[in-house]
Structure 1
Amino acid sequence: MTHLPPIISDLAFMLIVAGIVTIIFKWLKQPVVLGYIIAGFITGPHIDFFPTVIDNESITIWGEIGVIFLLFGMGLEFSFKKLIKNSKTGFITLMMIVLGLGVSGYFLGTLMGWSHWDSIILGCMLCLSSTTIIVKGFEEPQYKGKRFTEVVFGILIFDDLFAILVMVFLGTIAVSSQQIEGTEILLSLGKLVFFMVVWVVGGIFIVPSFLKKMKHWLNDETLLIVSLGLCLGMVVFATKVELSSALGAFIMGSILAETIALENIERVTKPIKDFFGAIFFVSVGMLMDPAIVLENYKSIIFITLLVLFGKIVFTTWGARLSGESMFTSIQCGFSMAQVGEFAFIVAGTAIMYGLADNFIYPIIIAVSVITTFTTPYLMAASPTAYHFMMKSIPQSWQEKIIAKDEKLASTKPTSLWGSLLKSYVFSIVIFVSLGLAVILLSSSFLQPLLIEHIGTLWGNIACLLITLIVISPMLKGLVYRGGEQPFLILELWKQSVKYRLILSMLIVLRYVIAFGFIYSIFDLFLDIPIWVSGIAAIALLILLFRSKYLLKLYWNMEYHFVINFNERIINEKRKFSKRENGVTSFDLNNESWIEQNLYVGRFKIDKNSEYENKKLKDTDFRSRYGLIIIEVDKNDEESYFPNGDFILMEGEFITVVGNIMQIKKLSSDKNQISLDKKSLQTIHQFAKKQGEDPNSQIKCVSIIIDKESGLYEKSLLQSEIGKRGKSFIVGIERNNSYEINPLASTVFKEDDIIWIVGGKNSIYEILKENFYF
């Protein structure tokens, strides 16, 4: 007789029961997740009326695999851009939930006689809403396109990140024998940030490029294998560095979410995610012990009431404090009043580490089941609750709420300090993490390998040189102030003298960090006096600062990263961009590398300048500095897009377009021409200002070249755009390269994004000749 392993018969029984129960739940219009949990309860060891599974240990392993793919699926739905866009609302609301509901959950646990750690775990679990249930609820037609759904998804992103953070800290605390030590917590947080930055930046730099190069060989089968391989590979890596396997799956999912292959990846992996997700929720239901539920029914009632009341109050409060209207805030609160799947994972992790007792699992499952049933009804009741509240409160309160809503609805100017510090801290964290990763890899793997093969002295020297070569573009990026930072610094510099000390310290700090990296590398690999390491570090730092080759290398790396990071959005815009009269335009949303690194500046021709009384064609603005002059003015007399025969005079102001280093070089050379620093701005900011000014004679547009365009396969010289005057092509972006102020020999290819600065009429003529058919 053929022997059938118990895991197969168990799996067959589980799936048959789960299939029947979920069909019933579909018919009842209830979430399928609840059906899986009930199916697990029926097939679990605590019900004698039905047959039960035999090999519980194997089912637990299947459940752990389910957690991995559940988190991988959440990662695929994650968006770094949404995280950045909704960072204020998400962070403030999460803090209110943690401080309000989390602390309340802890005190409720202690009042019910739970242990210290059981109460802490309870507080953490109550903060976690269900992404699965909320997404299911938002599929109803009445919620499509509503503002509060976008806000809720932004909060859920931070909710998921909080859950991952909790799981990481649980592992750290378990290693520390359940003692909360500030040093251990900070080290764990630093370790988490370090690996997340390295994984995300490295992953976005490598994975999308790999998938693009392999796309001709990636059918559904190979794409599925590659995607699952990347997911499980990151899971193994995360486990090796003593981080959560769930974190590894989530990170790889979020990296793949930024690729143009996302839709195909979601499609081919969906059956795998659905299958293992079902196994996970069934395994959760198997742990529901009815005896424990009945014994703790009072606790379940108290916790359920706290979730329903606390989530509504604290989520509403947090959303309101973050700047949302009262109506939107209340809708957010009512939508998030449930306990989600992450709570099961946190509970399982805490039990596995011995930080929580087993009874907490069936209790939180029971609370989740109850709150899942109430969620759709609470969502539908939120408008009624808002109107009831407005009618019940005093008239003066109503007026204050309405006035506040009107104020919030008006557009607020962005804080310059906020924008600068956000950009500054973001870049520092990225480059410091990448630099530490290079040093760590060199000292842990490369150095021992080289010493083994070529000896200690030459091995250390070779490792030193390789490390310096690899890390140098990152250090160049650290000290280079690109993007909008120069503009923000100049704006703040001219606002107040008291700002200048802080700004100077921020600039110097970059060089101090770069010096520290170089000094540490010398100290790590060579046994030389401190003063020698210091002098060598200073010399290399000066070389680093002056190197144009490193700047070009860094720009190429940054461009590659920006293209990969925005690949999916740019591809979607290419598909669904505005087509007006045969023109495919690209919105100016500051998502391209050109927008952030092409600058506009204004210079004054001083007395005795070498450019005085010279024709433009005889100057070196284009040949030496790579700059294009788009405007010349004096005494309010303006000349737009002058031709080569235009003669420059003393006292005239010229407006140029080029990269920041080209503008700075022209400013620093001794040629009696001075930069008006107040005028310096990115092409994105310049284009926005010109577009908002109805009297502006200058327009900046970005156009996508397709095969129907008259510019397709033509060179810039053949297009005669610059020859006819009044307009210039100042930048080109393509899949693997970019050009600022391109050469006349540059040939336009399909899908190139070209940036044109010109007069309104001249740009219209260009579009008419090359795009209207």
Structure 2
Amino acid sequence: MHANIPYLREIILFLAAAGLVMPVVRRLNISPVLGFLCIGLVIGPYGLGRFEERFPAIGYFVVSDLEGVQTIGELGVIFLLFSIGLEMSVGQLWGMRRTVFGLGSAQILLSAAAIGLAAGVLGAEPQTAILLGLCLALSSTAIVMQLLSEQLRLGSQAGRTAFGVLLMQDLAVVPILFYVGLLGSEVEGSFWAAVSLSIAEALLAIAAIFAIGRLVVRPVLRFAGSSGSREMFMASVLLFILGTSALTAQAGLSMALGAFLAGLLFSGTEYRHQVNSDIEPFKGLLLALFFISVGMRLDLAAIWSDLAAIGLAAAALIAGKALILVLLVRAFGRPWGVAMETGMLLGEGGEFALVAVTAALGMGVMAPDLAQYVISVVVVTMLASPGLAWSGRKIGNAVAASEQETANAMPEDVASEAIVIGGFGRVGRTLGRILEGQRIRYVAIDSDPHLVATEKARGLPIYFGDASNPELLRHIGIEHAAAFVTTMDQRSAAERIVSAVHKSWPHIPIYARARDPDHARKVRSLGAYDAIPETTEASLQLSESLLFGLGVPDDVARSVVDQEREYSSQDGPHRAGGEGGATRSAKR
């Protein structure tokens, strides 16, 4: 074996950070993104690297090859966007077209205009001011999407809005890169004709990828999977991801956008779950390397020497972009809480600004001092991203709750002779639709202000609050309600609500969602009239479908499943002698 493996020391440092330092960071409840950024700051040339001449031994713990680390780390961004595309579909993406092309385009144009104007006022040359406006208008796709993923917020209204804007920003890389290229060269013919041609070529590349991908992806994966070799299957997946990313890069688009398109192609296949599981380790490790490379760029000495100017510029950039986004998101019909959270999420500068500024410096169209100043501002805002995301969520929730308190105007006795639903998530909304279809009146209570604002805007009878709060329930007149249903999927929340309602109003029949038979027995003991374990129901429905598929007559299959359902529920407190179980089985 070769004794001098390239980058062996850097690999060992990185693995030590990922395997030894990050568990400590997680135990301290610090965002992994912030942890990796700080690790990069420490092991980079501007951290421990400053002491290498005085203490040569420190050199073993320093990574000085910034470009090499960042190049490899960009693969992490590619895998992140691929996994996001894997969880979506073309139909979902088309449904977001107003957010992507409307809100996203408006954000880029207005932010670029405001930043460019500010740079011009401060003395920048017109072409440099335009470049700065375009680059700083974009946010960090890698950091924002990772933060949303960590917080399980990708599916929230703010998460979907932020993703739509980021997707448009990735598309905008085409004309921006074209403009950067123009700064150092002469263009023949019309400028706008050249830009239009560049955009048309990019769109043609996207269409070609989709058209060819739909024909090729499934057969290739089927062939690789039939070989019985997991390595061959993984190699095929990596080929598609990196090949698509390379094609979009060749067309002037970002490689991350190409990976997202590849994810969309895979999402419509039966291999999506296996693929997602296989790439997870690649994505996590390489994305961590990207964040470390960003932290390595932070020169604390340069920032300290010009702390006031850099701090003021970073704060102005975040505040300006956030303000523009808040107003735009609100103008596009989102609640104020969602607008505040989205604005804070996307207030930072992005990795593309680092690339563009470095390119402009190499072409001689930006002074070295200005380039280092801009890079410092961008990295500082990226370092602040986890805090911005946390603050944005807190502010957004507070604003949404305040909105809801004003909009709620919860009338007294609104629950009289109605079904009260505690929790209006997926199960609660399904139950509400069924009750509406049967013309049965219901009132829903949920503690998610964004969800309440959204469903309230659709005209549904939903109010903000804690469904286990006796005062709130008494205010809506639960003592005259027809029944109470809790749809919470968390054990403790369901038990708390059932106990609170039964203790104060024992005459109200309570129906509860349970996680499993043990949990169902627990909530029944707390006073629930009935509890449906979701795992049991899923297995019963699966069994019934299997029996149908095996040719068992429909009535026989249903009878067998109903008997098993009755047997599983015989331990309920209201089923003395099996009467309750028989009644429920007959109803089904």
Counterpart in the other structure of 1:119 = 129
Classify 1:223/1:89 alpha carbon distance in 2 versus 1 (closer, same or farther; 3 Å). Answer: same
For 1:377 and 1:347, the matched residues in 2 are separated by: 29
Counterpart in the other structure of 2:375 = 361
Q: Which amino acid aligns with 1:91?
A: F
- Residue in structure 2 matching 1:70, options 65, 74, 77: 77
Give the structure-2-normalised TM-score.
Answer: 0.60
Classify 1:165/1:8 alpha carbon distance in 2 versus 1 (closer, same or farther; 3 Å). Answer: same
1:414-473 CA-partner distances (Å, limit 9, x unpaired): xxxxxxxxxxxxxxxxxxxxxxxxxxxxxxxxxxxxxxxxxxxxxxxxxxxxxxxxxxxx
Query: 1:36-435 residue pairs with structure 2 within 5 A?
Result: 36-46=36-46, 47-49=49-51, 51-52=58-59, 60-78=67-85, 79=88, 80-135=90-145, 137-138=147-148, 146-162=156-172, 164-165=173-174, 168-170=177-179, 172-173=181-182, 176-177=185-186, 181-217=191-227, 219-238=229-248, 244-345=254-355, 347=357, 357=368, 358-359=371-372, 360-386=374-400, 409=458
For 1:335 and 1:125, the matched residues in 2 are separated by: 17
Classify 1:31/1:406 alpha carbon distance in 2 versus 1 (closer, same or farther; 3 Å). Answer: closer
Counterpart in the other structure of 1:12 = 12
CA contact (8 A) 1:14 1:43 kept: no
How far did 1:103 drift? Answer: 1.8
Classify 1:151/1:366 alpha carbon distance in 2 versus 1 (closer, same or farther; 3 Å). Answer: closer
For 1:408 and 1:45, the matched residues in 2 are separated by: 53
For 1:154 and 1:26, the matched residues in 2 are separated by: 29
Counterpart in the other structure of 1:28 = 28
For 1:84 and 1:152, the matched residues in 2 are separated by: 16
Counterpart in the other structure of 2:411 = none
For 1:39 and 1:178, the matched residues in 2 are separated by: 43
CA contact (8 A) 1:204 1:258 kept: no
Classify 1:175/1:355 alpha carbon distance in 2 versus 1 (closer, same or farther; 3 Å). Answer: closer
For 1:345 and 1:577, the matched residues in 2 are separated by: 52
CA contact (8 A) 1:126 1:339 kept: yes
CA contact (8 A) 1:18 1:282 kept: no
SS in 2 for 1:308: helix
For 2:301 and 2:209, the matched residues in 1 are separated by: 45
SS in 2 for 1:338: coil
Query: 1:649-664 residue pairs with structure 2 within 5 A?
Result: none
For 2:51 and 2:404, the matched residues in 1 are separated by: 52
How far did 1:64 drift? Answer: 1.5
Query: 1:708-747 residue pairs with structure 2 within 5 A?
Result: 708=551
1:127-156 CA-partner distances (Å, limit 9, x unpaired): 334455445554688969754443333333
Larger proportion of strand: 1
CA contact (8 A) 1:300 1:367 kept: no
Q: Which amino acid aligns with 1:28?
A: L
For 2:210 and 2:548, the matched residues in 1 are separated by: 31
How far did 1:189 drift? Answer: 0.4
CA contact (8 A) 2:104 2:164 kept: no
1:270-303 CA-partner distances (Å, limit 9, x unpaired): 2222222222222222222223323443343233
1:242-295 CA-partner distances (Å, limit 9, x unpaired): 665555444334433433322222221222222222222222222222233234
SS in 1 for 2:50: coil
How far did 1:85 drift? Answer: 1.0
Classify 1:100/1:76 alpha carbon distance in 2 versus 1 (closer, same or farther; 3 Å). Answer: same
Q: Which amino acid aligns with 2:295?
A: G
For 1:117 and 1:405, the matched residues in 2 are separated by: 43
Classify 1:290/1:55 alpha carbon distance in 2 versus 1 (closer, same or farther; 3 Å). Answer: closer
How far did 1:233 drift? Answer: 2.8
How far did 1:194 drift? Answer: 0.7
Q: Which amino acid aligns with 2:12?
A: A
User: Which segment drifts farther, 318-327 or 79-88?
Assistant: 318-327
CA contact (8 A) 1:236 1:245 kept: yes
For 2:161 and 2:244, the matched residues in 1 are separated by: 30
Q: Which amino acid aligns with 2:268?
A: E
How far did 1:181 drift? Answer: 1.8
CA contact (8 A) 2:171 2:257 kept: no
Q: Which amino acid aligns with 2:77?
A: L
For 1:705 and 1:168, the matched residues in 2 are separated by: 58
1:163-204 CA-partner distances (Å, limit 9, x unpaired): x43564356536745999212111110110011111122112
Classify 1:58/1:111 alpha carbon distance in 2 versus 1 (closer, same or farther; 3 Å). Answer: same
Classify 1:43/1:406 alpha carbon distance in 2 versus 1 (closer, same or farther; 3 Å). Answer: closer
For 1:211 and 1:165, the matched residues in 2 are separated by: 31
For 1:259 and 1:350, the matched residues in 2 are separated by: 42
Q: Which amino acid aligns with 1:173?
A: L
Q: Which amino acid aligns with 1:198?
A: A
CA contact (8 A) 2:313 2:377 kept: no
CA contact (8 A) 1:36 1:282 kept: yes
For 2:91 and 2:540, the matched residues in 1 are separated by: 22
For 1:239 and 1:374, the matched residues in 2 are separated by: 30
How far did 1:218 drift? Answer: 5.3
CA contact (8 A) 2:348 2:378 kept: no
SS in 2 for 1:275: helix
Counterpart in the other structure of 1:734 = none
* Structure 2: unaligned runs, 5 residues or longer: 53-57, 407-452, 461-537, 555-587
Query: 1:653-732 residue pairs with structure 2 within 5 A?
Result: 706-708=549-551
1:360-400 CA-partner distances (Å, limit 9, x unpaired): 323211121124323202211223245668999xxxxxxxx
Classify 1:62/1:170 alpha carbon distance in 2 versus 1 (closer, same or farther; 3 Å). Answer: farther
CA contact (8 A) 2:81 2:257 kept: no
Larger proportion of helix: 2
Q: How many residues were matched structurally?
A: 417
Give the structure-1-normalised TM-score.
Answer: 0.47
How far did 1:577 drift? Answer: 13
For 2:205 and 2:256, the matched residues in 1 are separated by: 14
SS in 1 for 2:51: coil
SS in 2 for 1:300: helix
CA contact (8 A) 1:33 1:281 kept: yes
Classify 1:63/1:131 alpha carbon distance in 2 versus 1 (closer, same or farther; 3 Å). Answer: closer
Classify 1:156/1:285 alpha carbon distance in 2 versus 1 (closer, same or farther; 3 Å). Answer: same
How far did 1:241 drift? Answer: 5.5
1:481-517 CA-partner distances (Å, limit 9, x unpaired): xxxxxxxxxxxxxxxxxxxxxxxxxxxxxxxxxxxxx
For 1:153 and 1:379, the matched residues in 2 are separated by: 15
Taking CA–CA contacts closer than 8 Å with sequence separation of 6 or more, which of the two structures ends up with the larger relative contact order?
2
Classify 1:354/1:259 alpha carbon distance in 2 versus 1 (closer, same or farther; 3 Å). Answer: farther
How far did 1:336 drift? Answer: 3.5
For 1:578 and 1:115, the matched residues in 2 are separated by: 70
1:206-256 CA-partner distances (Å, limit 9, x unpaired): 212322344322553222211112233334445555665555444334433
For 2:272 and 2:7, the matched residues in 1 are separated by: 33
For 2:184 and 2:342, the matched residues in 1 are separated by: 37
1:580-628 CA-partner distances (Å, limit 9, x unpaired): 99579xxxxxxxxxxxxxxxxxxxxxxxxxxxxxxxxxxxxxxxxxxxx
Counterpart in the other structure of 1:416 = none
Q: Which amino acid aligns with 1:48?
A: R
How far did 1:88 drift? Answer: 1.0
